[in-house]
Amino acid sequence: MEAYIQNEIFDILKRALKAKSITYVELAARIKVSEPTIKRMFAERDCKFSRLMAICRVLGISATELLESATRADDVAETLPQSAEKAFAASPSLFHFFILLRDSVPVSQILDHYDLSEADIFLYGRDLEKLGLAEITNSGKIALASRAPVRFALGSPLHSVYRKINLDFVVQALENSDHDEAEGEETFLTLSLRMLPASSRQLREEMYAIIRKVGKRARQDLLIARNDDLETFRWSFVTGPASFSRMLTIRPHRDNRKSSVDD
């Protein structure tokens, strides 16, 4: 087994043990090996497949899902078909419905929150099915065709809708920043500093690495946690040359304006 796959597997297992408050002592007793054996397995990140299966059973994790999660490369964002972008631009409610489904919000919750009817849900599901983005099963459930990340290209028919969602999120984060800071967790951070363009490019590459890390951690959490324990977090990074002369306005001083009027 490739070293990076082994590392991924044991990272997931360690996080699952912590999430379920299972110690090495307890794990050793449940799979009938000694505690030093467990410690050695996790230190060396290696064990027999039969023991790996036993650990998965204790944690309630599917070995197949564990291996798939460990071997999967960073998710590549998909772009929506033009037909879907045009349909979403014409019906923001359909787009929002699609986003909520992707966010694993239960249909029952969507019904209650937006005061919709079963007919509304079916019709929105049918629209997504026509666009090839979902399928209505025989039981009437709406199954998404893919859960891979979606990239919304700026300048597309959805530009204005996507722009509003992002601006609303920034405003929400900014308005909650005082409360979040009091709770010891800031949600809005911003800096304006003068630096070399080369330094900015290097730091931007480091931000991309953080984004990949966020995606990796989220995939692991989906594997080890109950859906009810998960919460949606949005991560937005914005950087680029900032021209304050274009963003800021300075009018003539009020005393000078008054003098001009008197003259």
Q: For residue 31, tell me if it sits in a domain.
A: yes
Do residue 194 and residue 259 come from a single domain?
Answer: yes
- Find tokens 């008054």 and name the residue: 258
Q: In the prediction, which pLDDT does 76 show?
A: 60
pLDDT per residue as tens, the chain (263 positions): 456 667 888 888 988 898 888 999 999 999 999 999 999 999 888 888 889 899 999 988 888 878 777 766 555 667 888 889 999 999 999 999 999 998 888 899 999 999 999 999 999 999 999 999 999 988 889 998 887 777 776 677 888 888 888 888 888 888 887 665 556 666 788 888 888 999 999 999 999 889 888 888 887 787 777 777 888 888 888 888 888 788 777 787 788 866 555 55
Contact 134, 143 (CB under 8 A): yes
Q: For residue 111, tell me if it sits in a domain.
A: yes
End of a domain among 71, 89, 106? 71
Q: In the prediction, which pLDDT does 74 show?
A: 53
- With CA atoms as reference, report the closest residue to 18 among 221, 184, 228, 232: 221
Q: For residue 149, tell me if it sits in a domain.
A: no
CATH code of the domain in which 15 resides? 1.10.260.40
Q: For residue 151, tell me if it sits in a domain.
A: no
Q: For residue 150, tell me if it sits in a domain.
A: no
End of a domain among 71, 87, 108? 71
Q: In the prediction, which pLDDT does 160 show?
A: 82
Burial of residue 250 (CB within 10 Å: 0-12, 13-18, 19+) is exposed
Q: In the prediction, which pLDDT does 225 show?
A: 76
Q: For residue 56, tell me if it sits in a domain.
A: yes
Structure tokens that stand for 25 in this block? 């002592």
Q: Whole-prediction pTM value?
A: 0.60
End of a domain among 56, 71, 86? 71
* Full domain range(s) for residue 180: 158-189
Q: Distance between CA 11 and CA 210 in Å, rounded?
A: 17
Q: In the prediction, which pLDDT does 182 show?
A: 54
Domains: count for the chain: 4
3-state secondary structure of 135: strand
> Taking the mean position of all CA atoms in its chain, how far away is CA 239?
19
Q: Distance between CA 47 and CA 40 in Å, rounded?
A: 9
- With CA atoms as reference, report the closest residue to 232 among 243, 242, 221: 221
Q: In the prediction, which pLDDT does 136 show?
A: 92
Do residue 197 and residue 259 come from a single domain?
Answer: yes
